[in-house]
């Protein structure tokens, strides 16, 4: 028994790396000295005071970290000062965030729950040594899938691959759910207007995700099905919602007198039942080392985005993500925007006690990005046990929500400004629009009005407003950060995506949880299958009867 206990302790405290030995200690957050120091600091920054006047101007200039692709991460309106930043730097070193990231991209088994590697960064760049898994060089494997998707897209665009009548496909529809939908859909919408403006728009893309038949019916009713190519995305080839929607689509194709096999491709694993099926024009592959919510830079996003905008645009998106990944490897938190963002978020969650975060892109193109971040963050860090299945005694991932500005200002900002809970804010803004067509009304353009609203909201949240009328009193002290850039381009979108992926990863490392499994998704699926098989009793049967199943 002692041998087993010693082995368990050894696995908790160390990992191997290709012949040499890299010691990485996995400790709970509240076991770290820097955790105690952060709690001793407490809430020490008076935002209305430090953000007013000359001191505020100095903070905005000084509390900014460059990102790639012309972006920057500005945290002047966060409740941190140089002393807090110093302890956060100590936390980064004590928690070995840089070493743990290196272990991840060098191919260590970081996903302890499923005993898997975590390799989504390999889809967009090589940070460390070659990763060999299952006898395969994974970087070469992912590159081969990118090349295959690019070649297929070019054949579709040129008319080499056509429908049964020899006519070009004009629309592409992705069928998938969760990470097979949210990330690719968010990126497509983010770049659609940019692609139209820059003459790289090739095909309109639509998405079917919900098993609700109204979702598929609405998409099918809005497209020319004879000129549509469908992408079925399911790693296992067994995802119930996705296969149900595939059947819906196949029925529609057959009713239109079309052969589904000439209108469908699959994105799946090499071992799934879809991999070598004659039901598809082509198949593109992913593997278990890329989680769904981290899969936008894999074939899951690559096929639909290459068809929609051309493979060259998708390659630029990957370049932006790769550049941000390289910044994430820097041990200096003031040169590593994702790590800094993560550590400030930990301070807000565990010391200041803030339970939620609002993501507020002041760009209509990013309208679905908050929904993607909901899955990315909450599915990754919504855990109450550590990497070894032991309960943790501190808070982990926050609740994420958001809406593009300025719509949100006329919706939930009332609660953000004057509600009883303080909710940290993450703004995203750009100095130029994608379309670059605008009008001047009341001495300013629409883009200037949009940017004016961002600046005004940051200061209103930070400084508040005094008033004898308590209905008009704003306490201020509401912290925010902003990612700001010149324009939302493919590179910028890739960088922003990678920034948040890496932020979530670093927070998981600090909290000593596994950010790469999602067991919370599974229980409902199991019970749903029992309902459909009529294997229910008690309250589950009563709810099934209530819903007419």
State CA 122 to chain mean position distance.
16
Whether 92 contacts 29, CB under 8 Å = no
Rounded distance between C-alpha atoms, residue 114 and residue 104, angstroms? 15
Query: Which residues does 95 contact at the CB level (< 8 Å), separation at least 6?
Result: 27, 29, 32, 34, 509, 510
Tokens describing residue 267: 């994105």
Whether 233 contacts 296, CB under 8 Å = no
Indicate the burial class of 478 (C-beta count within 10 angstroms; 0-12, 13-18, 19 or more).
Answer: buried
DSSP 79-117: S--HHHHHHHHHHHHHTTHHHHHHHHHTT---BTTTTB-
Tokens describing residue 54: 């000359």
Question: Is 379 among the catalytic positions?
Answer: yes
Going by DSSP bridges, is the β-strand pair 228-233/264-269 parallel, antiparallel, or unpaired?
parallel
Indicate the burial class of 2 (C-beta count within 10 angstroms; 0-12, 13-18, 19 or more).
Answer: exposed
Rounded distance between C-alpha atoms, residue 18 and residue 422, angstroms? 46
Whether 282 contacts 263, CB under 8 Å = no
Under DSSP, is residue 472 helix (H, G, I), strand (E, B) or coil? helix
How big is the chain by its Cα radius of gyration, in Å? 24
Q: Which of 94, 241, 379, 403 is catalytic?
A: 379
Whether 386 contacts 320, CB under 8 Å = no
Tokens describing residue 38: 């952060």
Query: Which residues does 1 contact at the CB level (< 8 Å), separation at least 6?
Result: none
Tokens describing residue 375: 């899955």
Rounded distance between C-alpha atoms, residue 141 and residue 289, angstroms? 12
Q: What is the DSSP letter of 281?
A: S
Tokens 């992912």: give the residue: 142
Helix (H) or strand (E) holding 268: strand 264-269
Residue 356's beta-bridge partner residues? 399
Q: Which of 58, 525, 529, 535 is catalytic?
A: 525
Tokens describing residue 222: 């809005």
Whether 77 contacts 344, CB under 8 Å = no
What length does the chain have?
A: 549
Residue 402's beta-bridge partner residues? 359
Rounded distance between C-alpha atoms, residue 176 and residue 300, angstroms? 9
Distance of CA 190 to CAs 218, 375, 386, Å? 22, 17, 35
Q: Which of 147, 276, 335, 410 is catalytic?
A: 410
Tokens describing residue 295: 């899969």
Rounded distance between C-alpha atoms, residue 463 and residue 475, angstroms? 7
Phi/psi at 321 (nearest 5 deg)? -65, -40
Catalytic residues: 379, 410, 525
């Amino acid at each position: 028994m002692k041998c087993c206990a010693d082995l368990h302790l050894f696995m908790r405290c160390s990992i191997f790396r290709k012949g040499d030995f890299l010691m990485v200690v996995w400790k709970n957050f509240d076991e770290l000295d820097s955790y105690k120091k952060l709690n001793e600091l407490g809430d020490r920054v008076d935002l209305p005071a430090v953000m007013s006047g000359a001191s505020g101007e100095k903070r905005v200039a000084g509390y900014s970290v460059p990102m790639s692709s012309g972006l920057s991460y500005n945290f002047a309106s966060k409740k941190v000062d140089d002393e807090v930043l110093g302890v956060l730097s100590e936390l980064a070193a004590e928690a070995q965030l840089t070493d743990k990231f290196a272990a991840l991209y060098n191919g260590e088994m970081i996903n302890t729950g499923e005993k898997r590697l975590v390799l989504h960064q390999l889809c967009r760049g090589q940070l460390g040594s070659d990763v060999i898994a299952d006898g395969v060089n994974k970087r070469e494997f992912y590159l081969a899938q990118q090349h295959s998707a690019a070649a297929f897209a070019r054949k579709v665009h040129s008319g080499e691959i056509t429908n049964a009548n020899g006519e070009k496909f004009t629309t592409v529809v992705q069928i998938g759910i969760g990470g097979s939908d949210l990330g690719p859909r968010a990126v497509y919408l983010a770049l659609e207007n940019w692609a139209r403006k820059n003459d790289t728009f090739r095909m309109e893309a639509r998405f079917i995700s919900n098993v609700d038949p109204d979702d598929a019916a609405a998409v099918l009713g809005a497209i020319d099905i004879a000129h549509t190519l469908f992408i079925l995305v399911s790693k296992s080839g067994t995802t119930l919602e996705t296969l149900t929607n595939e059947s819906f689509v196949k029925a529609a194709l057959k009713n239109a007198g079309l052969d589904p096999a000439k209108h469908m491709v699959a994105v799946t694993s090499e071992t799934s039942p879809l991999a070598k099926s004659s039901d598809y024009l082509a198949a593109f592959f992913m593997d278990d080392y890329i989680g769904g919510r981290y899969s936008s830079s894999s074939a899951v996003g690559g096929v639909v985005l290459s068809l929609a905008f051309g493979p060259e645009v998708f390659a630029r998106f990957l370049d932006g993500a790769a550049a941000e990944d390289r910044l994430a490897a820097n041990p200096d938190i003031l040169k590593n925007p994702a790590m800094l963002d993560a550590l400030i978020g930990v301070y807000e969650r565990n010391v200041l006690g803030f339970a939620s975060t609002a993501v507020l892109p002041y760009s209509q193109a990013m309208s679905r990005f908050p929904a993607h971040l909901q899955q990315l963050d909450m599915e990754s860090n919504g855990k109450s046990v550590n990497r070894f299945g032991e309960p943790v005694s501190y808070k982990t991932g926050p609740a994420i929500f958001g809406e593009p500005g300025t719509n949100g200002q006329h919706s939930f900002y009332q609660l953000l400004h004057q509600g009883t809970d303080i909710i940290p804010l993450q703004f995203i803004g750009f100095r130029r629009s994608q379309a670059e067509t605008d009008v001047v009304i009341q001495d300013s353009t629409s883009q200037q009005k949009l940017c004016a609203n961002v600046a005004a909201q940051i200061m209103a949240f930070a400084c508040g407003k005094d008033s004898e009328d308590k209905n008009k009193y704003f306490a201020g002290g509401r912290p925010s950060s902003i990612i700001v850039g010149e324009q939302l381009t493919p590179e910028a979108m890739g960088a922003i995506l990678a920034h948040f992926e890496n932020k979530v990863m670093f927070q998981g490392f600090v909290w000593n949880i596994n950010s790469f499994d999602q067991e919370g998704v599974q229980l409902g699926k199991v019970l749903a299958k029992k309902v459909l098989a009529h294997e229910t009793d008690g309250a589950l049967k009563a709810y099934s009867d209530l819903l007419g199943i």
